[in-house]
Amino acid sequence: MIHENRELGYSAASDSVFVHQTSDILHHLRVAEERTEARHQLAQVSGITNESILNDLLEHDVTAATVAALPLVPLVLTAWADGAMEAPERAAIMKAMADHDLIPTQPAYELLVSWLNEAPDSSLFGVWEIYARGIREVMDAQTFLEWKTRIMDRAEFIAAAAGGFMGLGFTISAAEKSMLVKLDSSFRA
């Protein structure tokens, strides 16, 4: 029997290659299935329906569990714009987190706290732009304008939080003003 298999070109080595290739194919199918499920969950939680945007968010490690942090990204970016997270800025962001019903056991909460403790990577602005574009596609113009206004009002509050005497002078640094302009244009991109 072994002799017949060798005459037909079969060997243990070819069986090994077949098993390895099959394993690779199954692995890729499993990964694709997991990605499809992750995209579906992200769509359900975020409301975003554009698959390209969902894929971009997934590529940046945004998941259904962390997407709730994204509406607060402009606040974080504004607070860090001048290179430092001041105590009043931190407190205002923590209040915004509570207003968004984020609690310490949630991954989105933990992610935001990590951004409060250490400046996020500069790529976070790009993630914000992707998210804002996805939200703009699923909201009507009036709802989107209201959403944008709420976010920009909060970002401006963050920018003013550490300015002036005891935070009452509402002085906004040049870096924070620049970030506010950049954020405002991200809603149109």
The answer to whether residues 69 and 51 belong to one domain is: no
pLDDT of residue 15: 59
Encoded tokens for 55: 């894929």
Give the model confidence (pLDDT) of 166-176 as tens digits: 445 557 888 99
* Residues 53 and 71 grouped into a single domain: no
pLDDT at 3: 47
pLDDT at 173: 87
The whole-model pTM stands at: 0.80
| Judgement on whether residues 86 and 51 belong to the same structural domain of the protein | no
- Summarised one tens digit per residue, pLDDT across range 42-97 is 999 999 999 999 999 999 999 999 999 999 999 999 999 999 999 999 999 999 99
For 1-22, write each residue's pLDDT tens digit: 444 455 555 555 555 655 666 7
pLDDT at residue 188 in the model: 86
* Residue 140 domain boundaries: 65-186
Within 8 A by CB and 6+ apart from 87, the residues are: 162
Q: Please give the pLDDT value at position 31.
A: 64
Indicate the residue among 57, 73, 88 that finishes a domain.
Answer: 57
Do 84 and 177 fall into the same domain?
yes
Q: Look at residue 163 in the predicted model and tell me its pLDDT.
A: 67
The amino acid at residue 6 is R
Same domain? 69 vs 53: no
Instruction: Tell whether 95 and 175 lie within a shared domain.
Output: yes
Shared domain for 89 and 173, answered yes or no, is yes
DSSP3 helix / strand / coil % (the chain, rounded to 5): 75, 0, 25
Is 162 a residue whose pLDDT tops 90? no
Total domains, the chain: 2
Residue ending a domain, choose from 34, 57, 80: 57
* Residue 107 structure tokens: 């991954």
Structure token digits, residue 159: 């920018």
Residues 92 and 167 in one domain: yes
Rounded to an integer, the average pLDDT of 159-188 is: 80
Residue-level pLDDT at 189: 62
Whether residue 49 is found in the same domain as residue 69: no
Q: Indicate the pLDDT class of residue 165, thresholds 50, 70 and 90.
A: very low
pLDDT of residue 29: 62
**Do both 48 and 69 map to the same domain?**
no
In the predicted structure, residue 34 carries a pLDDT above the cut 70: yes
Both 10 and 74 in one domain: the answer is no
pLDDT in tens, 101-143: 999 999 999 999 999 999 999 999 999 999 999 999 999 999 9
116 in the same domain as 24: no
Q: Could you write out the DSSP letters of every residue in the chain? A: -HHHHHHTT--HHHHHHHHHHHHHHHHHHHHHHHHHHHHHHHHHHH----HHHHHHHHHTT--TTTGGGGGGHHHHHHHHTTS---HHHHHHHHHHHHHTT--TTSHHHHHHHHHHHSPPPTTHHHHHHHHHHHHHHHS-HHHHHHHHHHHHHHHHHHHHHTSSGGG-S----HHHHHHHHHHHHHTT-
